[in-house]
Amino acid sequence: MATIKAAILGFGTVGQGIYHVVNEKRAQLKAKLGVELEIVKILVRDTKNERVPGTAALLTDSIEDVLAVDGLQVVFEAIVDEEPAFTYLKRAVEQRCHVITANKVMFAKRGMELQQLAKTKGVHVGYEATVAGGVPIIKTMKNILLVNDVSRIQGILNGTTNYMLTKMRQENWSYDEALAEAQRLGYAEADPYNDVSGQDAFKKIMVLCDLAFGEQPNWDDVDVIGINTLTTEQLEDAKAKGLRYRHVAEAEKLEDGTIVAKVAPQLVAPDHPLYPIDDVFNAVAMETNYIGTLTVTGPGAGMYPTASVMVEDYAEIIGKRAGFTVSI
Amino acid sequence: MATIKAAILGFGTVGQGIYHVVNEKRAQLKAKLGVELEIVKILVRDTKNERVPGTAALLTDSIEDVLAVDGLQVVFEAIVDEEPAFTYLKRAVEQRCHVITANKVMFAKRGMELQQLAKTKGVHVGYEATVAGGVPIIKTMKNILLVNDVSRIQGILNGTTNYMLTKMRQENWSYDEALAEAQRLGYAEADPYNDVSGQDAFKKIMVLCDLAFGEQPNWDDVDVIGINTLTTEQLEDAKAKGLRYRHVAEAEKLEDGTIVAKVAPQLVAPDHPLYPIDDVFNAVAMETNYIGTLTVTGPGAGMYPTASVMVEDYAEIIGKRAGFTVSI
């Protein structure tokens, strides 16, 4: 039986999750796809730190080592920041590897470029994990777009701030109390800037703009307002009125074709699709022309949700090939 | 450019919707898929009744006429009841047509058989429209199942009863008042039995059992309880406690591998994924091993939502082929 060789770039939470899912699901993937998936290299900074027992022999700190693997076909990428991630994936695509990424910072800026290049090379780019963790919003939207037009997207795309807003409402916690608890639970980083400022959600809504509209607005024209602007009085007032603050990332294609987007706390009423989404959940509501409004809700982060959608990207890519070899 | 010839069986609301969507999206589908889709025959009972202007020449009351079309490749089916729909689709598959159905009554009973046959013939069966109208639950679940296991499904799969329960709670209407209004709005049939008894939702959860678990429970072992058993006192009591009655179709794979299912009114609390789903909306919550609970929500019926997911089935089927010809 054929074996597909794959590498993982970055071996933090998500990278380790990919390794676990691939190994736990080895037999099932083989049975479904007719090929075996083997992780043959893992790119890390410190090869002396064997984070998962049994992986020492796979670790390397050199991208050259990774790309030199004979017959490498798939690269999973779970690094942060634009570089060197983009350069690594570009090189992988150039040598005709399928690439599967969880890197929203890189993908928001360079995703279209990477996809264009992949097209010319006849390989695929999986990026489900760049937006909303385990929520399969990319595949759902791709499918919808085969026939429907999407005119507007509204999402809760950051679980940390949604958790904080939920607790501030339910428990009357202050912003500082909610942040401290989010940090204690591991939802927020020691430096919570990317989450609370809206920058994280901003990158994700830009990825969705590329998919839904084929283009992004000029980044400088997008207002990105964090949840740290909300006062206790505003929250109390909302509660008294039966409304809820959500940290909403939204994008819309106007009648004249212009794309507008913003990230900001918004007051939503009980009939709004994002009203019931509490705690660390993510949700995306899409307005479409034929179907109406579709909402997808689920866990927006975490080792296993994020890693499993990346392995699903792999299965989808490989499954297409295998399916076709059989059916033509 | 190649043209794909397709037929529509049944020209009621959904059948007409397919015709409209195919024509409205002709250019877009052609651009995306590289082939044109042409409706060449429409099977109806009464060929004298031209329901959509310009279709008279396409109408036939003979399935022989339909299947005799030279080069027919796709059959859309939007009839009700098991027969003659199953026999027609079986014949279509035997002559290597892809089939796309909205017929839950037929598919709940004969779906596995039809899919098995299609596999041996190298064609595809699209059945997104059999469950939850415009909500893409079949594709979402298929994708999730590439890597995740689904252990439990809970759905609001009938928009009519969800509308009625919503109004009974919000407006304090009686069951009879809610039913009368649902009929006035066209949500409920003159004979509402299939909706209010739970039989409609039962068929849909059986289709989901086939997909999620590869098998259905014995139909005789499934309790199917309608909403007409609810008393005004129960509804008032629920409201006082901050709970809501939902008409829930659910299925679960137990530890020992047994599949159990039921359809019944259930009291749900605010943290339940089906709590916020009001009016004619449908929703399906899936419990998975890696991702956790995923919920998909949207319009569960209607000409355009249902027809558009059927045309998406077509685009997905044809797109795979076209994609492969190019990328190999």
- Same structural domain, B57 and B178: no
Domain containing A71 equals 3-134+304-327
Q: How many domains does the structure of chain A reveal?
A: 2
- Residue A288 sits in a domain whose CATH number is 3.30.360.10
Instruction: Return the pLDDT at A198.
Output: 97
- Same structural domain, A220 and A260: yes
- Same structural domain, B318 and B260: no
- Same structural domain, A111 and A19: yes
Measured distance CA(B142)–CA(B135) in Å, rounded: 14
- Same structural domain, B179 and B229: yes
- Residue B129 sits in a domain whose CATH number is 3.40.50.720
Which residue ranges of chain A lie beneath pLDDT 70? 1, 321-328
How many Å lie between the alpha carbon of A291 and the closest alpha carbon of chain B? 4
- Same structural domain, B141 and B287: yes
Measured distance CA(B183)–CA(B177) in Å, rounded: 10
- Same structural domain, B153 and B292: yes
- Same structural domain, B127 and B203: no
How many Å lie between the alpha carbon of A224 and the closest alpha carbon of chain B? 28
Interhelix angle A137-144/B303-327, nearest 10 degrees? 100
Chain B residue closest to A320 (CA)?
Answer: B320
- Same structural domain, B143 and B64: no
- Same structural domain, B201 and B278: yes
* Partners of residue B300 in chain A, C-beta under 8 Å: none
Six-digit token pair at B262?
């039921």
The answer to whether the CB of A66 falls within 8 A of the CB of A74 is no
Instruction: Return the pLDDT at B325.
Output: 31
Of A139, A292, A312, the CB nearest to B147: A312
Catalytic residue ranges of A: 204
Q: With an 8 Å Cβ cutoff, are A147 and B293 in contact?
A: no
| ipTM of the complex as predicted | 0.92
Which residue ranges of chain B lie beneath pLDDT 50? 322-328
Q: With an 8 Å Cβ cutoff, are A140 and B298 in contact?
A: no
- Same structural domain, B169 and B230: yes
- Same structural domain, B152 and B288: yes
